[in-house]
Structure 1
């Protein structure tokens, strides 16, 4: 008897929508914020109701409490001067960071160039030597040639991207 009463109470609680058991009601997107309580006038805040699908919101981390917030301008906006003052880096420290970035990029460029040279050697201008299990016109050989060509193109794109980054570092000096 007691078990049936418990089950009946549980069923009634679920039907009534006990908070914490299941989320009911609409989910609203207000800019980059998701909420189930958009306030009295959601349209005035620019809120839109989210329809369909599942929604999972994971909050990001908050800054450490030790840093003082930047001073706010009238109306609550952070001034550009306050923001840039908080983000300033000493010239020596910036030169050190730039040198480290350049060293890392040059190291990555050497690796990417080595991968490109190996990919080009494997590709052999579109006529790589066939394996013992392949015929020249077999689909397996043609698929391997296409894969090797893709590796060469990807390696070329990597080298070009790293060179662009090094160029950006040089332009920033």
Structure 2
């Protein structure tokens, strides 16, 4: 590849990276060119702009983000007037069903945890025939430990959900 072609490719890459960084810089508004004591140039769009000059970037349009209204912390959000309501009996039946589902899931997870701990055997599970390589055995042991940890977290979450029910 000749030297001219290399320079042309380098220039194209440099210009495209400069253009992309300039487009990121203007995402928040004005762009400023700052020059330090050593003559080093730096483009900024936030922070200290004292001694910097505003730069006009041709062909780039900046659209500011819309300002959202502030929410009042003292006033809770209320449901719209046409929001569907459920009678008390139906809600109690749903809560009862939910409690039963959570209790069933808790029982299943506790049984799963007991089986996992039994198989884990305090970090020394029984080796299988397909684990002639010790690394495979260690990998399975680590996976078993992770399964136990995940199941314990599931049990904690289910207990927390049950305690939150009325």
Say which of 160, 163, 167 aligns to 2:159: 163
Structure 1 residues 49-60: aligned runs within 5 Å: none
Structure 1 contact 119–155 (Cα < 8 Å) conserved? no
1-side partners of 2:93 and 2:115: how far apart?
A: 33
Larger Rg: 2
User: Aligned pair in 2 of structure 1 residues 142, 103: CA closer, same or farther (>3 Å)?
Assistant: same
Q: Compute the TM-score of the two structures, normalised by the length of structure 2.
A: 0.50
> Which residue pairs with 1:121 in the alignment?
118
Per-residue deviation, 1:132: 2.6
1-side partners of 2:102 and 2:120: how far apart?
A: 26
Per-residue deviation, 1:42: 5.3
> Which residue pairs with 2:48 in the alignment?
none
Structure 1 contact 130–141 (Cα < 8 Å) conserved? yes
1-side partners of 2:81 and 2:119: how far apart?
A: 50
Say which of 104, 109, 115 aligns to 1:107: 104
Which SS does the other structure have where 1:126 is aligned?
Answer: coil
> Which residue pairs with 1:88 in the alignment?
85
Show CA shifts across 1:72-93 (max 9, x none). Answer: xxxxxxx83x626734321111
Q: How many residues align?
A: 97
Structure 1 residues 1-173: aligned runs within 5 Å: 43=64, 45-46=66-67, 80=78, 83=80, 86-134=83-131, 138-169=134-165, 173=166
2-side partners of 1:84 and 1:93: how far apart?
A: 20
Per-residue deviation, 1:45: 3.8
Structure 1 contact 116–155 (Cα < 8 Å) conserved? yes
2-side partners of 1:144 and 1:151: how far apart?
A: 10
Q: Compute the TM-score of the two structures, normalised by the length of structure 1.
A: 0.48
Gaps of 5+ in 2: 1-61, 68-76
